Amino acid sequence: MLWQHAFLETRWRFLTGLVILSVSAAFVVIGYPQVAATAAGMAGTRDTLLGREIAEALEMTKRFDSYVWSQWFQRNGAQLGSLFAVIIGTGGLLSQSAAARLFTLSMPVSRLQLLAARAVAGLGQVLALTFVPALIIVLVSPVISKSFPLLDALAYALCAFAGCAVFFSLAFFLSTMFANVWSPVVLALCTGMALTVIGARLTDGRLSLLGMMHGGSYYSGQGLPWPMLLVSAGLSMALLYAGMRVIARKDF
């Protein structure tokens, strides 16, 4: 019953995100021939910073795997995945009406069990949001006579899940502090923007949470970023546990 209650609470947010991410991933693959044909007729100059960025973007389109990584795992997929992870993580007891909260608290389980079930259900949904679009990329690629390695897709999806889990856990924790649903969303997204700025200033991309989330080290041939994966897992667990303790001590 706990699992069903936890899933039903966020099912529409999850299903909406799953459809949007899956369709977006498929369109990234299907749009490659057009993008490659357009890029072939363009030339980028490296005389300015903008010119170098354009030239690098054009270079990415020459290989299908580079294009998919830059367009999905580094950009669209990471951004959409983080957004829906935050949306799924918000809510909970504080945002419920008094009657709904009374019904939830009247169930013959502890508050820690209630929140643990919600946390595990939410992480399961985030897992699906990161791995299903990656598998769709692998399955849709033959439609345009291309292929994307399954192992690479799973590696990138693992990195994306670790990063999205942090954003989910942050929203989960903030939802135990604010009754307003939108406050955790805004604060979590602001944190994401701050991490983007900090990551851009780091000389070592392996120390960046977003760099880990994008799978940059794996793409560059340096393997999975295990240290940051472990740090992300630890940070997620710490945020989830802190949120559970806050609710356990509240006087409703």
Pick from 106, 25, 107: which is nearest to 73 by CA?
A: 25
Please give the structure tokens belonging to residue 92: 């909970």
Q: Which pLDDT value is given to residue 105?
A: 59
pTM of the model: 0.89
Distance from C-alpha of 176 to C-alpha of 231, rounded to nearest angstrom: 23
Out of 4-13, 21-30, 83-92, 203-212, least confident range: 203-212
Q: Which pLDDT value is given to residue 25?
A: 97
Percent above pLDDT 90 for the chain? 51
Mark 157-191 as b/e (b = at least 16 C-beta within 10 Å).
bbbbbbbbbbbbbbbbbbbbebeeeeebbebbbeb
Query: Tokens 């959409």 belong to which residue?
Result: 80
Q: Which pLDDT value is given to residue 78?
A: 93
* pLDDT band, very low/low/confident/very high, at 1 (cuts 50, 70, 90): low
Q: What single DSSP character describes residue 144?
A: G
Query: Tokens 């357009």 belong to which residue?
Result: 38
Q: Which pLDDT value is given to residue 227?
A: 92
Q: Which pLDDT value is given to residue 97?
A: 53
> Angle CA(74)–CA(77)–CA(80) in degrees, nearest 5?
125
pLDDT at 90 exceeding the cut of 80: yes
95-136 residue pLDDT tens: 555 555 555 656 667 778 888 888 999 999 999 999 999 999
Q: Which pLDDT value is given to residue 177?
A: 86
Q: Which pLDDT value is given to residue 209?
A: 86
Distance from C-alpha of 151 to C-alpha of 194, rounded to nearest angstrom: 31
Q: State how far the alpha carbon of 169 is from the alpha carbons of 31, 141, 165, 234, in Å.
A: 34, 33, 6, 11
